[in-house]
Amino acid sequence: MLEPKVWREAATQVFFALGLGFGGVIAFSSYNKRDNNCHFDAVLVSFINFFTSVLATLVVFAVLGFKANVINEKCITENSKMIIKFLKMGNISQDIIPHHINLSAVTAEDYHLVYDIIQKVKEEEFSALHLNSCQIEDELNKAVQGTGLAFIAFTEAMTHFPASPFWSVMFFLMLVNLGLGSMFGTIEGIITPVVDTFKVRKEILTVVCCLLAFCIGLIFVQRSGNYFVTMFDDYSATLPLLIVVILENIAVSFVYGIDKFMEDLKDMLGFAPNRYYYYMWKYISPLVLLSLLIASVVNMGLSPPGYNAWIEDKRHL
């Protein structure tokens, strides 16, 4: 919790979820009527996003918990077979196994009891048995994030679901729709200011932007594509986005003027927004964002950038 990277990624998640810093929200809002209740819209979207995030969190951890439980049960079954094999070979004495435990259909609690007994009895010889403790906490503590969460952890878990092909199709349809929905806002944030400023045809500009984005995106589908995804995700989609949001906050609060902005809102809404927004926009938000930016830059300076790579020559080590 004290690492700046954690808070930077948390802030980035909020920016991505609400579309902040991309220009999409500003582009869409430009189509609203002048007297549109943007205060209600902002509060409603924030609450919907919050409850959606909570729901997504429950689903993600439920699936990861299910996956960890399945893998743990498989581990217990395989290691129980190894123990039975050692009993038959005489490597382990039958006398140390409690009589009420049936290793052919052992529970997690009984297996851990047997494991602890064997570990105490064998001591120095225990490591040669290559038995696994099969703790479900070890599976839950294995960090899975980014593409690994969507394309490895979830897909592996869904193979154990009832009617797994159906859930796999639904899951990847959700990913496709999620990607398309995100790109609508991103592309609109690029197209709208260009069309409004230079009066070019929107259809042609949209096609050009999409083709350009498609060509750039081809680097992510190479054999080395996952490394590019990691670098873009860590260094081009987090820190720059934080800087953009800080500049937007400064532009509204100090360059344009927070008092003038509050008067504009009063004119649009028909009532004065709560002073809470005034102090948040002018003092709290810039201070928190700048502190996060400074801490992130210092942290990145102390720990040089890098990423995990798969080395073919050491794949068997």
pLDDT digits (tens, 9 = 90+) for 175-205: 889 888 888 888 988 999 899 889 899 999 9
Confirm whether 208 is domain-assigned: no
Do both 38 and 152 map to the same domain? Answer: yes
Average pLDDT over residues 109-129: 87
The Cα-based distances of 65 to 21, 24, 80, 213 in angstroms read 34, 35, 22, 37
- The reply to whether 13 and 45 lie within a common domain is no
Task: Assess whether 233 and 283 both reside in one domain.
Answer: yes
Domain count, the chain: 2
Among 159, 174, 200, give the residue marking a domain's end: 159
Classify residue 173: in a domain, yes or no.
no
Asked if residue 81 and residue 45 are part of one domain, the reply reads yes
Shared-domain flag, residues 7 and 50: no
Q: For residues 145 and 133, state if they share a domain.
A: yes
Note down the domain range covering 119. 33-159
Confidence check: pLDDT of 218 > 90? yes
In a domain, 202, yes or no: no
Q: What is the model's pLDDT at position 225? A: 85
pLDDT of residue 258: 94
Give ∠ CA 224-227-231 in degrees, rounded to 5. 145
Residues 23 and 55 in one domain: no
pLDDT confidence of residue 263: 94
pLDDT category of residue 13 using cuts at 50, 70 and 90? confident
Task: Please indicate, yes or no, if residue 233 is contained in any of the structural domains.
Answer: yes
Domain end, chosen from 159, 180, 200, is at 159
Instruction: Verify that 39 and 11 share a domain, yes or no.
Output: no
Mean pLDDT of 100-108: 86
Do 123 and 50 lie in a common domain? yes
Please check whether residues 51 and 128 belong to one and the same domain.
yes
Q: What is the pLDDT of residues 128-156, one digit of tens each?
A: 888 988 988 887 777 566 666 777 777 77
* pTM, full prediction: 0.74
Residue ranges of alpha helices (H) inside the chain are 4-18, 24-29, 38-89, 108-122, 126-129, 136-140, 147-148, 154-158, 164-198, 202-217, 225-235, 239-250, 258-269, 275-279, 285-302
Residue 98, in any domain of the structure: yes
Q: Is 242 a domain residue? A: yes
* 247 closest CA partner among 3, 64, 21: 21
Binding-site residue positions for Na(+): 49, 178, 182
- Answer yes or no: is pLDDT of 317 > 60: no
Residues 150 and 38 reside in one and the same domain = yes
Query: Which pLDDT value is given to residue 212?
Result: 94
- Of 144, 159, 174, the residue that ends a domain is 159
Pick 207 or 13 by higher pLDDT: 207
Binning pLDDT at 50, 70 and 90, where does residue 313 land? Answer: low
Q: Would 45 be classed as within a structural domain?
A: yes
User: Which residues contribute to the annotated binding site?
Assistant: 49, 178, 182
If asked whether residues 39 and 138 sit together in one domain, one would say yes
Range among 121-125, 137-141, 223-227, 284-288 rated most confident: 284-288
Kindly report the average pLDDT of the chain as a whole number.
85
Q: What is the pLDDT of residues 255-280, one digit of tens each?
A: 999 999 999 999 999 899 999 999 99
For the stretch 45-78, pLDDT in tens is 999 989 988 888 888 888 888 888 888 899 999 9
Confidence of residue 12 (pLDDT cuts 50, 70, 90): confident
- Average pLDDT on 286-294 reads 90
pLDDT at 286 over 90: yes
Indicate whether 67 belongs to any domain. yes
